[in-house]
């Protein structure tokens, strides 16, 4: 359905109607998602609270209106990434059940693991208690499916779908329409949760073209601390779609350390939406490591909603073959005395493509704030391509802001220098590439995660293509 404003335009300009119909025809899968949704709604527990059913229904309707995003009409947010491969296929929601067999060794092999961590495992978006392990330490760590059924779940009613707005975003609307499971984490006031909490989202690929809609709501109370790791891991090469939404709300003076590991299979599609809202003096630090998926979007939006709040957003993406990885970061400096620091690095081989884009908005009242945005790329093949577009919109006059981006090949003089010490070209290349990536990897604090990521990249042989 066109929006009312569009309907009016269509009436005024008959040609626009034709264009609209052509657009819809381009993406015929919309309607299929509607029937998928109707099946889903008819199957799930009718005892779900009304607010949840209403939210899903509004989101489903909104998705029908919005559809999948396109780069049309000057949509800067999707300028360099076409989701046509997703829109042209049909991915069906197929929740996995407790009885679906998943090999524990597969999980151990493909995800970082430390027995000290709390681990919540989700198979195609559904919580698997049998594969999970929770260390209780004063923190609420539960699956959404278990607490959504509780009619008293007022905290969810208030906060779920509050930070990730589905009105303006098709993928978020689609995720919300299928909202049924995921993780809910709440760190109460004054609790410093020292053990990392690891959310493992497995794409089982047990059937072709499965869509999963993982969801997480993460909240911290006043003066609290939390370390959270999200891993998205594909267990088979079957193509699938993971459309995930994570909402994070940091309480006053709390600190959240966040890691995001993307290791989906080479044929899969991944749309990750993270929405972060920061209170006074809270701090959010995030490192995303993106390796897997044929087409991936890491869409992160941080609202520095109160004075003293800040964030550092770091990321590393390594692409090969015909992969396409898009990091889109929006930072909203909505108040004075806020800080943001973005630092991304990419290594591209073959004919792969990466996108780094985003916007730092420094509103008129964001005085005495500072922001930086940097994206550095190493292109290891003539055919690899990166679109990097850091941008800042500054309306305050007393702020510090810097941004920059580079893309280039491995420096010949560095290569020659290493070879003049007896190191062969291949080893020299890998030392240089590891040197480039280590700046981000070394920042990962949990040792097992840092080790896993380090191994993942050195074993991948990213430089074998040269």
Shortest separation between residue 421's beta carbon and another protein, angstroms: 4
Shortest separation between residue 412's beta carbon and another protein, angstroms: 8
Q: Which CB, 142 or 423, lies closer to another protein?
A: 423
Shortest separation between residue 381's beta carbon and another protein, angstroms: 20
Shortest separation between residue 429's beta carbon and another protein, angstroms: 11
437 binds another protein (CB under 8 A): yes
Q: Beta partners for 378?
A: 347, 408
417 binds another protein (CB under 8 A): yes
> Which pair of structure tokens corresponds to residue 230?
């999200």
Q: How far apart are the first and last CA of the chain?
A: 50
Query: What are φ and ψ of residue 131, in 5° steps?
Result: -100, 0
Shortest separation between residue 458's beta carbon and another protein, angstroms: 12
436 binds another protein (CB under 8 A): yes
402 binds another protein (CB under 8 A): no
439 binds another protein (CB under 8 A): yes
Q: Which CB, 90 or 414, lies closer to another protein?
A: 414
For another protein, which stretch binds (CB under 8 A), given 33-41, 67-75, 80-88, 426-434?
426-434
Q: Which CB, 90 or 423, lies closer to another protein?
A: 423
408 binds another protein (CB under 8 A): no
Tell me which of 434, 450, 454, 460 binds another protein, using CB under 8 A. 434
For another protein, which stretch binds (CB under 8 A), given 17-25, 180-188, 200-208, 414-422?
414-422
Q: Which CB, 150 or 442, lies closer to another protein?
A: 442
Residues 6+ apart with CB under 8 A from 307: 280, 281, 335, 336, 337, 338
Q: Which CB, 235 or 428, lies closer to another protein?
A: 428
422 binds another protein (CB under 8 A): yes
421 binds another protein (CB under 8 A): yes
For another protein, which stretch binds (CB under 8 A), given 39-47, 53-61, 74-82, 429-437?
429-437
405 binds another protein (CB under 8 A): no
Tell me which of 131, 188, 423, 443 binds another protein, using CB under 8 A. 423
**SS3 letters for the chain?**
CCCHHHHHHHHHCHHHHHHHHHHHHHCCCHHHHHHHHHHHHHHCCCCCCHHHHHHHHHHHHHHHHHCCCCCCCCCHHHCCCCCHHHHCCCCEECCCCCCCCCCHHHHHHHCCCCCCCEEEEEECCEECHHHCECCCCCCEEEEHHHHHCCCCCHHHHHHCCCCCCCCCCHHHHHHHHCCCCCEEEEECCCCECCCCEEEEEEECCCCCCEEECCEEEEEECCCCEEEEEEEEEECCCCCEEEEEEEEEEECCCCEEEEEEEEECCCCCEEEEEEEEEECCCCEEEEEEEECCCCEEEEEEEEEECCCCCEEEEEEEEEECCCCEEEEEEEEEECCCCCEEEEEEEEEECCCCEEEEEEEEEECCCCCCCEEEEEEEEEECCCCCEEEEECCEEECCCCCEEEEEEEEECCCHHHHHHHHCCCCCHHHHHHHHHHHHHHHHHCCCCCHHHHHHHHHHHHHHCCCCCC
462 binds another protein (CB under 8 A): no
The size of the interface with another protein (CB under 8 A), counted in residues, is 24
> Which pair of structure tokens corresponds to residue 325?
């990885």
For another protein, which stretch binds (CB under 8 A), given 109-117, 199-207, 279-287, 408-416?
408-416
Q: Which CB, 105 or 412, lies closer to another protein?
A: 412
414 binds another protein (CB under 8 A): yes
Token look-up 């973005």 returns: 342
CA 448 remoteness from chain centre: 21
Q: Which CB, 87 or 378, lies closer to another protein?
A: 378
71 binds another protein (CB under 8 A): no
For another protein, which stretch binds (CB under 8 A), given 19-27, 292-300, 361-369, 418-426?
418-426
Tell me which of 134, 416, 447, 466 binds another protein, using CB under 8 A. 416
419 binds another protein (CB under 8 A): yes
Return the number of other C-beta atoms located less than 10 Å from residue 193's C-beta.
22
455 binds another protein (CB under 8 A): no
131 binds another protein (CB under 8 A): no
431 binds another protein (CB under 8 A): yes
Binding site for another protein (CB under 8 A): 411-414, 416-425, 427-428, 431-432, 434-439
């Amino acid at each position: 359905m066109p929006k009312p404003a569009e309907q009016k335009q269509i009436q005024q300009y008959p040609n626009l109607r034709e264009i609209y119909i052509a657009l819809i025809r381009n993406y015929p899968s919309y309607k299929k998602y509607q029937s998928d949704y109707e099946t889903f709604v008819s199957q799930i527990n009718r005892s779900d609270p009304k607010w949840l059913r209403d939210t899903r229904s509004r989101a489903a309707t909104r998705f029908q209106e919005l559809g999948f995003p396109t780069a049309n009409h000057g949509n800067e947010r999707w300028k360099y990434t076409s989701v046509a491969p997703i829109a042209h296929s049909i991915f069906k929601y197929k929740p996995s059940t407790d009885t679906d067999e998943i090999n524990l060794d597969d999980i151990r092999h493909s995800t970082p693991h430390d027995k000290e961590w709390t681990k919540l495992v989700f198979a195609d978006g559904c919580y698997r208690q049998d594969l999970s392990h929770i260390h209780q330490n004063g923190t609420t760590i539960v699956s959404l499916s278990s607490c959504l059924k509780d009619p008293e779940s007022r905290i969810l009613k208030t906060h779920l779908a509050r930070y990730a707005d589905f009105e303006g975003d098709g993928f978020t609307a689609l995720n919300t329409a299928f909202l049924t499971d995921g993780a809910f984490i709440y760190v109460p006031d004054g609790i410093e949760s020292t053990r990392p909490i690891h959310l493992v989202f497995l794409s089982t690929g047990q059937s072709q073209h499965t869509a999963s809609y993982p969801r997480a709501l993460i909240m911290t109370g006043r003066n609290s601390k939390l370390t959270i790791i999200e891993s998205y891991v594909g267990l088979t090469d079957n193509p699938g779609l993971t459309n995930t939404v994570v909402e994070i709300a940091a309480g006053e003076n709390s600190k959240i350390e966040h890691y995001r590991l993307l290791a989906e299979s080479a044929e899969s599609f991944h749309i990750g939406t993270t929405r972060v809202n920061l209170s006074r003096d809270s701090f959010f630090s995030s490192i995303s490591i993106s390796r897997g998926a044929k087409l991936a979007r890491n869409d992160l939006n941080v609202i520095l909603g109160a004075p003293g709040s800040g964030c550092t957003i770091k990321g590393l993406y390594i692409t090969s073959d015909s992969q396409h990885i898009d990091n889109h970061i929006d930072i909203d400096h909505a108040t004075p005395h806020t800080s943001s620091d973005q630092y991304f690095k990419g290594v591209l081989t073959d004919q792969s493509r990466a996108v780094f884009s985003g916007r730092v908005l420094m509103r008129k009242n964001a005085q005495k704030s500072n922001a930086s945005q940097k994206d550095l790329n190493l292109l290891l093949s003539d055919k690899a391509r990166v679109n990097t577009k850091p941008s800042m919109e500054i309306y305050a006059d007393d702020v510090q802001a810097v941004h920059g981006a580079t893309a280039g090949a491995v420096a010949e003089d560095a290569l020659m220098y290493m070879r003049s010490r007896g190191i062969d070209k291949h080893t020299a290349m890998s030392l240089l590439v590891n040197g480039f990536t280590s700046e981000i990897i070394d920042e990962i604090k949990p040792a097992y995660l840092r080790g896993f990521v380090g191994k993942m990249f050195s074993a991948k042989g990213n430089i074998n293509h040269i």
